[in-house]
Structure 1
């Protein structure tokens, strides 16, 4: 079994799939993946398939709170970007 966190604490012995990027960061069911080492060319892939067996179930579950925080952070960045664009469009420059 492969688990990159085995040096941190004991593994449970059950392999799980870990997403390369937290799937909650993406609202679409499919992602356009480019320049990935594991692909030849560009591909549209279901986000549920962007996983690798690199963690045991125990460590994957222990990392779940960090996934949730990453989702919150991603949504905050998205909101900030949209708000910035909205504000930029609403500002009128007065001629001097």
Structure 2
């Protein structure tokens, strides 16, 4: 499958799916404000999180990477706990105070299959 960027790492399955540029679980609100892109260089625009996607992964790889979204979300929540409460943007505490993206060999976990 040509359009899946992970196709060279393991076999693909399913259609090309929409992958969020930034995991939507990081945000508490359903939208963000963006600027600096070609279509909004001069003015900030309100964008729904469901629109911040690209078709870059097959369904198999997209689903296989959900653990990365969860680890990233937990890391952000851990880091936010280090800030004074008035500066935190997320009110949900982390599931764990451990941020560890490496396995016992010191390498990132491999994609399944």
Give deviations 1:14-65, integer Å, cap 9, x for gaps.
111000011111111110012135x323211001110000000000011000
Instruction: Identify the residue that residue 57 of structure 1 maps to in structure 2.
Output: 59
TM-score by length of 2: 0.67
Q: CA distance change for structure 1 residues 7 and 67 in 2, over 3 Å: closer, same or farther? A: same
Instruction: Identify the residue that residue 12 of structure 1 maps to in structure 2.
Output: 13
- Following TM superposition, the consecutive aligned residue runs of length 4 or more in structure 1 with deviations greater than 4 angstroms are none
1:1-96 correspondence runs (5 A): 2-37=3-38, 39-41=39-41, 42-82=44-84
Cα separation, 2, equivalents of 1:18 and 1:9: 18
Give the drift of 1:70: 0.4
Give the drift of 1:83: 5.2
In structure 2, the gaps of 5 or more residues are 88-113
Higher relative contact order (CA 8 A, sep 6+): 1
The structure with the greater share of residues assigned to helix is 1
In structure 1, the gaps of 5 or more residues are 86-96
Please state whether the residue corresponding to 1:81 is helix, strand or coil: coil
Q: CA distance change for structure 1 residues 45 and 84 in 2, over 3 Å: closer, same or farther? A: closer
Cα separation, 1, equivalents of 2:64 and 2:76: 20
